Amino acid sequence: MAEIVNYNSLEWRSGVLALEDGSVFRGRAFGATATVLGEAVFNTAMTGYQEVITDPSYTGQIITMTTPQIGNYGINPEDVESDGVKVAGFVVRDLSPIASNWRSRISLPDYLSQYGVPGLTGVDTRAITKKLRVTGAMNACLSTEDISDEEAVAKARAWEGIVGIDYVKLVSAKSIYKWDASMGDPTPFTVPGTLLEPSVLERKRYHVVALDFGAKYNIFRKLSYHGFDVTVVPADTPAEAIKELKPQGIFLSNGPGDPDPLIYAHKTAAELIQHYPTFGICMGNHILTHALGAKTFKLKFGHRGANQPVKNLITGKVSITSQNHGFAATPEDLANRGAEVTEINLNDGTVEGLRHKDLPVFSVQYHPEASPGPHDSDPLFEEFYQLVDKHA
Q: Which residues are catalytic?
A: 282, 367, 369
Cβ neighbours for 197, distance < 8 A, ≥ 6 positions apart? 188
d(CA 30, CA 109) in angstroms, rounded, equals 6
| Distance from C-alpha of 249 to C-alpha of 328, rounded to nearest angstrom | 25
Q: Beta strands 351-356 and 339-345: pairing type?
A: antiparallel
